[in-house]
Amino acid sequence: MKLKSKILNIEAGNFVVVIHEEDAKEMGICIIDRVEVYSDNCKNKLNAIPNFTKIYLNKGEIGIYEEVRQMLNINDGDMVDVSLSSRPVSLEYIRKKIDGINLSDEEIKAIVRDIVNGNLSSVELAGFVIATYVHEMTSSEMISLINAMVETGQNIDFGENVVDKHSIGGIAGNRTTMLLVPLIASANLKIPKTSSRAITSASGTADTMEVLAKVEFDVEKIKDIVGKTNGCMVWGGAINLAPADDKIIKVEYPLSIDPDSQMLASVMAKKKSVNAKYLLVDIPVGRGAKISNTEKGKKLGNEFINIGAKLGIKTRCLITDGYSPVGNGIGPALEARDVLIALDYENYKNKTAEKNHGNFKIPYDLINKSLDMAANIFEMAYHLTSFGDFQSKFENNKKDEYRKTAEEILKTRALKKMREIIEAQEGNPEIKAEDIVIGENFYDVQAKYTGKVKFISNWKISQIARASGAPYDKKAGIYLKISVGDFVRNNESLFTIYSSSAHKLQHAIELAERLNPVEIGGAIIEKIE
């Protein structure tokens, strides 16, 4: 049937067209079908998901979403040829998985191809994601999913000796990547780290790094940065490492589900795409963390290790303390300042604040966690012969050498390496902690009782920091003055909230009052009635 195009000027996220209900009936198209759209302009065709209307199109018209317009080069008013097409066979496989039946390699690849090609509606995609949540994927299904994600995405070859790290997240602050990358790159290993931006947290590594340098680069430029410095800290969203994953995430968030299988596949596909050989995974556990206890953390860790083995990625997992934020600052600028202090902590030991609400409290927890992680990476990779100046340190594979060497690198080289990377990523390599501007509106939240700090809720701290404007307002966030175990007195300052906006600061203060993120004294964890 020939239909007249009406350009809608809006993206659908997939290949979608709108058809008048009468035309759809005449063509025998129903809600489960696909239509083939052919345009004479480029002598090309595609399969699209039909939506139906009887109001905003006349019979004989077809509404063209942006993705279809671009692909077929259609102008408003152009005639296109529309006919009933077959529905993607992958829908059958999704239906199978909903019914709890395991899928074959070919079936999973068909699903991933259809996800990437925009052939599945969001409802159909949700069907797949929920099915893999309710009926856990087998490890061979997961390998299929990972391979399919790698095949349908961008692959970047950084050569040999590529190591990587990943944190499953949920902890405020926790910018270990920004210490680890310069530490590891200083020891001559390659660590091309791609990170995410915050979705529900106050800052992602990419948001924090962006305070110091650019983070959005194309593949060629990333290769160039890593070629020069051995490391990078860039936003993964700018390159298509696993495009299927980006679409899956859009469905997971609204449902607040994150099937372990999808999370594992997503992480491992991205590591595989950069040809990583060693991977360290940070799994924070505890009250308020994503994983509630060590046992569950170990189970997840073993899955990472098994999948890694099958993909040729030697994987080690660290179960870490997820009971409170890591670092003092939460929010892009506050975290970036922590990082710069940590990389030069000997120097900041005796410095006092001068400007920019300077708080030069050294984030020892962040430093120690990062050093432990670096030591683990060195240990995993000890038999490589590429540690440059540090080669001799590791030749006897002695446990304490790894951590000692990490410390030595932090004291002697890491800041220099960080500056190289900042420069390669087009930032100002001379930037100092005290140069980082923090929000001019601030408020001190005080203790209401005297006692020991029992618990600091990662989730609540993140919500308050978001209310203050983070991560969009880079200068907004929270600066923690205490940590778990500290003894505080009534009315003593617990944390400061910063914001560029007086209005948002007010909103964050109210939220802090309501949420009470720092628990003092009490032994009560939960009330049940």
Q: Which residues are tagged catalytic?
A: 258
CA distance 457 to 325: 8
Nearer to a copy of itself, 34 or 316 (CB): 34
> CB of residue 259 vs a copy of itself: minimum separation in angstroms?
10
Q: Does 467 bind a copy of itself (CB under 8 A)?
A: yes
Surface-to-core class of residue 32, CB atoms within 10 Å of its CB (0-12 exposed, 13-18 middle, 19+ buried): exposed
Rounded to 5°, the CA angle 277-379-371 comes to 105
Answer whether the bond into residue 192 is a cis peptide, omega within 30°: no
What backbone phi and psi angles, to 5 degrees, belong to 408?
Answer: -60, -45
Enumerate the β-bridge partners of residue 194: 234
Give the DSSP H or E segment for 142: helix 139-151
CA distance 265 to 241: 12
Enumerate the β-bridge partners of residue 490: none
Nearer to a copy of itself, 12 or 184 (CB): 12
Please pick, from the candidates 255, 309, 353, 502, the single residue that binds a copy of itself as defined by CB under 8 A: 255
> CB of residue 23 vs a copy of itself: minimum separation in angstroms?
10
Query: Which 3-state string (H, E, C) describes 443-464?
Result: EEEECCCCEEEEEECHHHHHHH
Q: Does 449 bind a copy of itself (CB under 8 A)?
A: no
* Residue whose token pair is 């308050």: 464
CA distance 173 to 148: 33
Stretch of 298-306, 317-325, 376-384, 468-476 contacting a copy of itself, by CB under 8 A: 468-476
Nearer to a copy of itself, 98 or 484 (CB): 98
DSSP class of residue 132 equals H
Please pick, from the candidates 8, 181, 371, 433, the single residue that binds a copy of itself as defined by CB under 8 A: 8
Q: Does 18 bind a copy of itself (CB under 8 A)?
A: yes
CB atoms within 10 A of CB 13: 14
Stretch of 179-187, 424-432, 444-452, 465-473 contacting a copy of itself, by CB under 8 A: 465-473
> CB of residue 397 vs a copy of itself: minimum separation in angstroms?
45
Enumerate the β-bridge partners of residue 2: 81
Q: Does 134 bind a copy of itself (CB under 8 A)?
A: yes
Q: Does 11 bind a copy of itself (CB under 8 A)?
A: yes
Nearer to a copy of itself, 200 or 294 (CB): 200
Q: Does 464 bind a copy of itself (CB under 8 A)?
A: no
Stretch of 346-354, 424-432, 470-478, 521-529 contacting a copy of itself, by CB under 8 A: 470-478
Q: Does 216 bind a copy of itself (CB under 8 A)?
A: no
Give the DSSP H or E segment for 53: strand 44-53
CB atoms within 10 A of CB 448: 13
Please pick, from the candidates 32, 42, 89, 502, the single residue that binds a copy of itself as defined by CB under 8 A: 32
Stretch of 50-58, 165-173, 266-274, 424-432 contacting a copy of itself, by CB under 8 A: 50-58
Nearer to a copy of itself, 244 or 341 (CB): 244
User: What residues make contact with a copy of itself under the rule CB under 8 A?
Assistant: 8-11, 18, 25-26, 28, 30-32, 53, 55-56, 63, 66, 91, 94-95, 98, 100, 121-127, 130-131, 133-135, 199-200, 250-251, 253-257, 466-467, 469, 471-473
